[in-house]
Structure 1
């Protein structure tokens, strides 16, 4: 029996949960053929927190200073790990792990290398583009997690092109999401929301980049015309006090609910009548996909990672930070009758099934790994 294909998946920080897409990559690799090691440069699970489904997990425990400048200690540890294990495939998520493995690959000659880029902007610096062009070799394949990210990579001047760069869309386990989701009335009861009113919903940390202040300002304009509407935001963060002050300033007490952090927030999605994502910047718009899984109309800002999804799913778009246009989009949804809202939600759900299903995501990574190894063998 031939030996298993050895895969190293390298991430910047510990993050293991049900929606973690690195874990979904592992799930798509048959255990009888692949032996996967997951390594985290920083962090480790605390008591009761989950570990990776990989056969082996490594927590390097590097400090921030270890990962700045020349990073010699971190590079040496990675070098020794590969020399000990002789991985056939490395998958590096985000810029720093990918850059470190590009440096090491010049001397290690790893058979197949895959770099996964989750956002836009990592190669805006001229030095990073120059370095990537020098380090990029034929055994690298680069993944953009959306059409917008792939287009950015191909056009940024770092050496990525249609031959070495592919698009594998972010995805969610839609069946799992729907199994978790409570029916509308139950979800509202669990969140302490009223049964009757129309509720716009958002999920995301209460931090400036999520744009919740703009959503509250837009909702204030809508609520004066549609007093039956409410807004609920699931998430916690440092902007809570500022958002609470805005709610008081606009006289929205009892109309806007800051619900705090909730484990597996997607289970409450059906409490909402429409889903809003007003982000100023976003790499992985998984919350938007979770909103679609609830068969809801979706509204989002026109940032590069959201616009293509909203265009393709029939969602509603507003210029990022544009409160007046966001208010118009909220009002337009409120003006729909129940059947029109249902049809809009079904269009979004149908798109989600066709473009962001986790089964397709797993298969595409499996195929990319197999194709990369085949190309390497052919080149020998």
Structure 2
């Protein structure tokens, strides 16, 4: 009987939910061929919270300080785990776990290592580029989760093209559609008026999401569209600042901060248009969730969103310019219902072509299989 391929997946913090893409990678690795362990450097599930789909979950439960600087304790714990288990492959997510595995693999010599980069600028610092140029070996492939991240790794990171792959982040479209409530029910659950035109978004209330720009844009057009509302699902440290901005524009009855919601994508059909005003993103999954609801989409022209919006027939505006965003919103709101439905259909068709979870899983499985075969011939 052929032994299973032993895979370790490393994440910085505990994060297990239905849309977590690390979990989707596991789903693409058949249990009859792969034995997967998921390691979380920080955090662990509370009672009732889910564990990974992996056959085994390991929680180092380190504090934040232990994963900063030289990380001696974290490195030693990770080395002991890898040395004792004899993994055939590692999938590490984000800079810290990737860097730690690059350091350790000089000694461990795990034959297939995949580093998944989710954001831009991870190798902007000269020291990081220098260190990576020393540590990276033929055992490594880096994955950019979007065209923008892929390009950033090559242009800013200085990595050779043969060491980098592009595998677009994705969503489980069929699951999203099963979860989504019809428009009337979604609005009832969110306590939104049935007859309003709702501009909506989903995202943590943090500066990088630039909800303040979206609020400013809405303030510029609200008087022209008295039946319109702005609704934001999400929670975070910027709430007080955003509430103050809403009061300054006297829009307490026109802007709804709806708080965090489990599986927020189930409410997307409550919206008439989906907007992402972020100033930085790796690949914005919330935008894909908006597309799954067959909605027109509008977003800033940051590198990670511009290609998506262009390819799906969405609308872009210069990042950080709320008055231009206001004009994009005005354009969508001025369309007929049929025209908006057509825009939403185009965004949905693009989503199915380019960001389906089935393709995502297959690409990671194929990459891993190919790397293991290549290493057998080295």
Q: TM-score, length-normalised on structure 2?
A: 0.98
> Residues 157 and 237 of structure 1: is their aligned pair in 2 closer, same or farther, counting only changes over 3 Å?
closer
CA distance in 1, matches of 2:236, 2:112: 40
Q: Which residue of 1 aligns with 2:43?
A: 43
- 1:354 is the counterpart of 2:350: no
- 1:370 is the counterpart of 2:369: yes
- 1:101 is the counterpart of 2:81: no
CA distance in 2, matches of 1:240, 1:97: 31
- 1:222 is the counterpart of 2:233: no
Paired residue secondary structure (1:113): strand
CA distance in 1, matches of 2:337, 2:290: 18
Q: Which residue of 1 aligns with 2:134?
A: 134
Cα deviation per residue 1:303-340 (whole Å; 9 max; x = unaligned)?
A: 12111111111111111110110000000001111111
Q: CA deviation at 1:157?
A: 4.0
Runs of 4+ in 1 over 3 A off after TM superposition: none
Q: Which residue of 2 aligns with 1:66?
A: 66
Q: Which residue of 2 aligns with 1:323?
A: 322
Conserved? CA contact 2:123–2:129, under 8 Å = yes
Query: Which runs of structure 2 are paired with 1:1-380 in the superposition (5 Å)?
Result: 1-158=1-158, 160-379=159-378
Paired residue secondary structure (1:163): helix
CA distance in 1, matches of 2:110, 2:240: 50
How many residues of Structure 1 are paired with residues of Structure 2 in the alignment? Answer: 378
> Residues 214 and 129 of structure 1: is their aligned pair in 2 closer, same or farther, counting only changes over 3 Å?
same
CA distance in 2, matches of 1:338, 1:69: 55
Paired residue secondary structure (1:275): strand
Q: CA deviation at 1:206?
A: 1.2
CA distance in 2, matches of 1:144, 1:128: 17
Give RMSD over aligned pairs. 0.9
Q: CA deviation at 1:58?
A: 0.4
Between 237-246 and 95-104, the greater mean CA deviation after superposition: 237-246
Conserved? CA contact 2:124–2:157, under 8 Å = no
CA distance in 2, matches of 1:216, 1:129: 38
CA distance in 1, matches of 2:330, 2:160: 42
CA distance in 2, matches of 1:279, 1:65: 29
Conserved? CA contact 2:89–2:111, under 8 Å = yes
Q: CA deviation at 1:83?
A: 1.2
Between 234-243 and 7-16, the greater mean CA deviation after superposition: 234-243
Q: CA deviation at 1:254?
A: 1.5
Paired residue secondary structure (2:90): strand
Between 368-377 and 239-248, the greater mean CA deviation after superposition: 239-248
Cα deviation per residue 1:43-76 (whole Å; 9 max; x = unaligned)?
A: 1001111000100000011222222222122111
CA distance in 2, matches of 1:84, 1:100: 17
Q: CA deviation at 1:345?
A: 0.4
Paired residue secondary structure (1:19): coil
Conserved? CA contact 2:146–2:282, under 8 Å = no
CA distance in 1, matches of 2:231, 2:377: 55
CA distance in 1, matches of 2:14, 2:227: 43
Q: CA deviation at 1:211?
A: 0.7
Q: TM-score, length-normalised on structure 1?
A: 0.98
